[in-house]
Amino acid sequence: MEASKKENKRKSIRYFSQLKAQYFLEREKRNGEECTIINISQKGMGVKFHTPEKINIGSIVHLKTFIPTEMEPVNIKGVLIWFEPLIGGKSIGGVELAEELDGDRFAGLCSIYAGEHIAE
């Protein structure tokens, strides 16, 4: 899917991010695997998965990351709505969140990159 088509579907501004996280898929019995949240909005996020394995669109994804100012991890749940393999054994996908991020949690996740939005 072309980037411009993805951008047209977005309902809110996405902010650049480089948050390290772990993910696991709801129906799989594996430990969390590494990923990076590369952009974020209150309703969704772009995620770079550090695995060559295909993830099916519609999969329920659980993410765990840390807000720099918090001691406890932030747990996020969403649905994979698009997926593309990348060169080098990684992949990228879009996750639509099950619950919109509240203002404080969203601000905390975006705090490092405040003001650097990438798409509306």
Report CA Rg, the chain: 13
pLDDT digits (tens, 9 = 90+) for 18-41: 889 999 998 777 778 999 999 999
pLDDT digits (tens, 9 = 90+) for 37-73: 999 999 999 999 998 889 999 999 999 998 767 788 8
- Domains of the chain are 3-119 (2.40.10.220)
- Asked if residues 41 and 72 have their Cβ atoms less than 8 Å apart, the reply is no
- Asked if residues 117 and 106 have their Cβ atoms less than 8 Å apart, the reply is no
How much is the pLDDT for 53?
87
> How many Cα atoms sit within 13 Å of 70 on the Cβ side?
15
pTM for the full model?
Answer: 0.80
Q: Strands, DSSP E only, in the chain?
A: 14-25, 33-40, 44-49, 60-65, 74-85, 91-97, 117-119
pLDDT digits (tens, 9 = 90+) for 88-109: 889 999 999 999 988 778 877 8
